[in-house]
């Protein structure tokens, strides 16, 4: 169920002694993710000296559109071996998994960045263009490692920490959390984006691309379109404080991590 709305003068909080890093849609941008991981790791080490426990949440859509989806999955798997990293189920992960069995979904998947994902697993671009959907599905089942499929299948639909709810796309306003449908958590835009009343907690989400982190007072959108903008954003929450880290591709193609900046 929804938690009790907080008073206007009582800002939302993360439990004392904990820091949350929420990372927006990666979409196959392994180089940006690697740089952001390095920046987060440096930030975590500073926090550990103060006794802060860190929690990392990726908001889904790790794959598709960008050039290195396979490398992104590998990076996150390795990161989980050293940190408490949790990953949410995005609509692109849903398309990916269903495409192993469903040819109609595979057509949809290929049109929305899945082609780039298969190429990242070693598929030949020219052969993909000249293959039937059935042939592509056979190839997909052969080249995608079983451990990657199993890892994606383990993703979660929502995570709540303190006064914040983390989901990929959003929630259907007015519906209790235990009644939310997966299609809304993974796909919704409206009426969620334009909703101007409290959800009982602050919803942190990706899915919908924006130029800058968007804080409406009821939700915080952090998908800054990594594959098209060259900017991958992480929202950092600690106590009642909010700030951001971002891996950015510079004018000469060099990736760097921006200094933190307050957004509230």
d(CA 169, CA 192): 9
Per residue in 79-96, pLDDT tens?
A: 999 999 999 999 999 999
DSSP labels, 73-97 = HHHHHHHHTTS-EEEBPPHHHHHHH
> In the chain, what percentage of residues exceed pLDDT 70?
95
Task: Determine if residue 235 is left, alpha or beta; phi over 0 gives left, psi from -120 to 50 gives alpha, anything else beta.
Answer: beta
Q: Check: CB of residue 91 under 8 Å from CB of residue 105.
A: no
pLDDT score at 262:
60
Question: What does the angle CA 199 – CA 18 – CA 204 come to, to the nearest 5 degrees?
Answer: 30
Task: Determine if residue 232 is left, alpha or beta; phi over 0 gives left, psi from -120 to 50 gives alpha, anything else beta.
Answer: beta
d(CA 207, CA 61): 8
Measured CA to CA in angstroms, residue 138 lies from 117, 123, 133, 172 at distances of 15, 12, 9, 37
Nearest to 217, CA basis, from 201, 233, 238: 201
Q: Could you give the domains of the chain?
A: 18-262 (3.60.21.10)
- C-alpha distance across the termini of the chain, in Å: 27
Q: Is 4 exposed, middle or buried (0-12, 13-18, 19+ CB in 10 A)?
A: exposed
How many CA atoms does the CB half-sphere of 146 hold within 13 Å?
0
pLDDT score at 124:
98
pLDDT score at 260:
60
Helix (H, G, I), strand (E, B) or coil at 184: helix
Residues paired with 159 in a beta bridge: 166
| Mean pLDDT of the region 106-125 | 98
Per residue in 118-158, pLDDT tens?
A: 999 999 999 999 999 999 999 999 999 999 999 999 999 99
């Amino acid at each position: 169920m929804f938690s009790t709305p907080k008073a206007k003068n009582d800002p939302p909080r993360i439990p004392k002694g904990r820091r949350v890093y929420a990372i927006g849609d990666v979409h196959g941008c392994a180089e940006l993710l690697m740089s952001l991981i390095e920046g987060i790791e440096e930030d975590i080490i500073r926090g550990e000296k103060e006794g802060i426990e860190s929690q990392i949440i990726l908001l889904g859509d790790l794959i598709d559109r960008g050039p290195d989806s396979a490398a992104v999955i590998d990076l996150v798997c390795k990161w989980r071996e050293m940190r408490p990293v949790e990953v949410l189920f995005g609509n692109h992960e849903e398309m990916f998994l269903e495409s192993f069995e469903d040819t109609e979904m595979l057509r949809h998947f290929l049109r929305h960045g899945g082609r780039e994902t298969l190429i990242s697993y070693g598929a030949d671009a020219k052969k993909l263009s000249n293959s039937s959907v059935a042939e592509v599905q056979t190839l997909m089942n052969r080249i995608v490692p079983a451990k990657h499929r199993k890892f994606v299948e383990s993703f979660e639909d929502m995570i709540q920490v303190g006064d914040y709810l983390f989901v990929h796309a959003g929630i259907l306003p007015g519906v209790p959390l235990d009644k939310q449908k997966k299609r809304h958590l993974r796909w919704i835009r409206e009426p969620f984006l334009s909703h101007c009343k409290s959800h009982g907690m602050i919803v942190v989400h990706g899915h919908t691309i924006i130029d800058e982190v968007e804080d409406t007072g009821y939700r915080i959108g952090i998908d800054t379109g990594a594959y098209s903008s060259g900017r991958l954003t992480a929202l950092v929450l600690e106590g009642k404080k909010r700030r951001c880290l971002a891996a950015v591709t510079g004018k000469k193609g060099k990736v760097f991590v921006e200094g933190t900046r307050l957004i509230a």
